[in-house]
Chains A and B, each alone.
Chain A
Amino acid sequence: MRLRRGPTLSAYVWLTVAGIYFLLPLFATFLFSLNKNSTGKCCTVASYTWVIHNGDFWHTLKISLLLAVETIVVSLLLFVPTIYWVHLKLPRLRPVIAFLALIPFVVPPIIMVIGLLKVYKGSPDWFYAKPWGFLVASYVILAFPYTFFSLDAGFRSIDVHTLTEASQSLGASWGTTLFKVILPNIRAAALSAAFLTLAVVLGEFTIANLSAFHTFPLFLQYVNETQAYPAAALTLMSFGLTWGAMLSLLLVGRKRGGSGGVFGGAR
């Protein structure tokens, strides 16, 4: 019998290559962001100071984060019960929904936004003229594939029928079953859906731009076009902010004990 050894040399080589591939651009961006605006040479944190003291930065960031939270809440409220019901009562509908979920991948955002603007034209101002209405509706559609496939993997990893029937035989209503039994066991899948939705919303440019809403990606684009070094600083900061937001979601969603279902489909 061969004894299992530690990582081989080739593993270290590939890890190093992957590390360079991912970290080198970040490091180069970081070095670039430290350059002085006047001389173009190293080193100053002025670009970071400029970003932090810029009112538009905080304003657009706040809008994008609120949009992300709203999109996550609407998506989960809409899709958790739907996918639960499909798994429980209408399993033959699952491939149809999976197909529908692929459409936002196939249709380019520019086509989608034109279509959505036409569809919602004439809807009340509180919806059409506000990011909290129109943009969230669009983002729910845009994030649908990520939400569906994450939740679907979560539901497939548990025995939905048996857990539901066990809960009901003990006297639980549908609501209690969903919130006390099912939801805690697909928590990781719901978190996964939330992470992906957050990343989609924080990075979405086309729909916000064409529908004339000023969100964080638009501010990023504006700075990128006008100021090179602060743009690099902003890029790194937005990178860190996205990861920070995901980490916050993870900490909020974490709970002691239990198996917690799946994370993105893998048990």
Chain B
Amino acid sequence: MAYLELQNLHRDFGTVKALNGIDISLGEGEFLSLLGPSGCGKTTALRLVAGFDRPNRGSIVVDGKDVTNVAPSKRDMGMVFQAYSLFPNMTARQNVEFGLRIRGRDKADRGKRVGDLLELVGLGHAADRYPHQLSGGMQQRVALARALAIEPRVLLLDEPLSALDAKVRVQLREEIRRIQLELGITTLYVTHDQEEALAVSDHVAVMYGGVIEQMGAPAEMYTAPATPFVAEFIGTMNRLEATVTDGSQGDVEHAGMRLRVDAARGRRNGERVLVLIRPESLELEAATNGAAPNAFAGEVLTQTFLGPVTRLKVSGSGTNLIADMSTARAAALPVGARVIAKIPSEGAKLLSLPDDGPGLPVLDPDDQ
């Protein structure tokens, strides 16, 4: 049974539709990430759940009770903000204690709970420090402990790691997940970082233009994107606009080249499709004289060292492709080398494109 439900939520700001009818259903103790580029409506959705804003239409239900018009102070939602939000006039201990004082909990009870939570986030030693004496990562840990102290019905996290450096971000996201699992708390997490969302969530909802494009398990979002936008947003994807030429064989045509894609079998001839290939699925090898089936010939334009793998950009026949290969193998294909890129017929995914529809969504590189 669903514990947190967002039902047909709409929120307009003037003529801008920040949320255009989103539906989310989350079970008790589950972790859902709202993922999307800036302006997609994910923070708006979170603020509606927290009660800081009201929807134009739709409702928010927690544990069977409609809380749409309940004041934020009465909702019992713990929230961790993107900006550092600790009260500067209070120590870490006093910050964590704040919600318990409001609830009139006795001193001994407060002391024990605050101590336990600060230990849980690994800051028992820093209880008497003021926020300006804590690093950014420590401040967000205290903010997490403060949000958990009130035993919230739902934990809301609004890009809590975005101001932290990369290493701390990875450490803290793992800690957030560990604590969430330990306490079994229903969690709604907003982020624009797909790696973060995929790493910690039970479910991911990708948002774009105020609607949910796709919602599912992280692996499902990565391996089976349901829309061109999700395909573009989750991970890196080669996208080839093509037309089905022989649906019985799975043949499609892209830029004058015929490719065989298993996923195209059974498609209507003449249908516009988008062939999706992950960079790690492409096979690159040095060009030989003979033409290879299901392959593009091209030239290595750039090489980007990414540690264990190297990313190569290949251009040829009017198509740009990105391929990831082991750094050792990539050394044999320097910039300028002639290569062939083999398209795996079984590894490529296919999405239908409207026959006269708009082009593919274009993402800001910063949002990817």
B73–A165 contact, CB under 8 A?
Answer: no
Distance, CA A176 to CA B75, complexed state (A): 17
Does chain A have a CB within 8 A of B132? yes
| Given known A-B contacts A258-B90, A259-B88, A169 and B130 have beta carbons under 8 A apart | no
Number of residues from A at the complex interface, CB < 8 A: 25
CB-CB nearest in chain B for A174: B73
Distance, CA A258 to CA B92, complexed state (A): 11
B81–A165 contact, CB under 8 A?
Answer: yes
Interface string of A151-166 (1 = CB under 8 A from B): 0000000110011011
Does chain B have a CB within 8 A of A7? no
| Given known A-B contacts A165-B52, A169-B78, A170-B99, A184 and B89 have beta carbons under 8 A apart | yes
Does chain A have a CB within 8 A of B40? no
**Hey, which chain B residues are within 8 Å of A185, CB to CB?**
87-89
Does chain A have a CB within 8 A of B83? yes
Number of residues from B at the complex interface, CB < 8 A: 34
B102–A159 contact, CB under 8 A?
Answer: no
Report B140 CB to chain A, min CB distance, Å: 12
**Hey, which chain A residues are within 8 Å of B99, CB to CB?**
170-171
**Hey, which chain A residues are within 8 Å of B85, CB to CB?**
159, 162-163, 165-166
**Hey, which chain B residues are within 8 Å of A255, CB to CB?**
89
Does chain B have a CB within 8 A of A260? yes
B73–A159 contact, CB under 8 A?
Answer: no
Within 8 A of A (CB), among B42-87: 50-52, 71-79, 81, 83-87
A169–B72 contact, CB under 8 A?
Answer: yes
**Hey, which chain A residues are within 8 Å of B77, CB to CB?**
169
Report A24 CB to chain B, min CB distance, Å: 41
Distance, CA A187 to CA B90, complexed state (A): 13
Within 8 A of B (CB), among A37-69: none
Distance, CA A13 to CA B265, complexed state (A): 90
Distance, CA A257 to CA B88, complexed state (A): 9
Report A137 CB to chain B, min CB distance, Å: 32
B88–A258 contact, CB under 8 A?
Answer: yes
Report A173 CB to chain B, min CB distance, Å: 6
Distance, CA A183 to CA B73, complexed state (A): 19
A166–B81 contact, CB under 8 A?
Answer: yes
Report A113 CB to chain B, min CB distance, Å: 40
Query: Which of A162, A170, A171, A185 has the most C-beta atoms of chain B within 10 angstroms of its own C-beta?
Result: A170
Distance, CA A120 to CA B348, complexed state (A): 83
**Hey, which chain B residues are within 8 Å of A166, CB to CB?**
79, 81, 85-87, 143, 146
Does chain A have a CB within 8 A of B172? no
Distance, CA A173 to CA B103, complexed state (A): 11
Report B73 CB to chain A, min CB distance, Å: 5
Does chain B have a CB within 8 A of A172? yes
Report B153 CB to chain A, min CB distance, Å: 12
CB-CB nearest in chain A for B88: A259
Does chain A have a CB within 8 A of B350? no
A258–B89 contact, CB under 8 A?
Answer: yes
| Given known A-B contacts A170-B99, A172-B102, A176-B102, A163 and B87 have beta carbons under 8 A apart | yes
Distance, CA A257 to CA B50, complexed state (A): 31
**Hey, which chain B residues are within 8 Å of A260, CB to CB?**
88-89
Contact among A159, A176, A259 for B83, CB-based, below 8 A: A159
Q: Identify the A interface with B (CB < 8 A).
A: 158-159, 162-163, 165-173, 176, 180-181, 184-185, 187, 255, 257-261
> Can you give 20 A-B contacts (C-beta < 8 A)?
A158-B88, A159-B84, A162-B83, A162-B84, A166-B81, A166-B146, A167-B87, A168-B71, A168-B73, A169-B79, A170-B73, A171-B73, A173-B73, A180-B98, A184-B87, A184-B89, A185-B87, A258-B90, A259-B131, A260-B88
Those 4 A-B pairs whose CB atoms lie nearest each other, nearest first: A170-B99, A184-B89, A258-B89, A166-B85
Q: Identify the B interface with A (CB < 8 A).
A: 50-52, 71-79, 81, 83-91, 98-99, 102-103, 130-132, 143, 146-147, 150, 156
Additional pairs, 5, CB under 8 Å, beyond known A162-B84, A167-B98, A168-B51: A159-B83, A169-B51, A172-B73, A185-B87, A259-B130
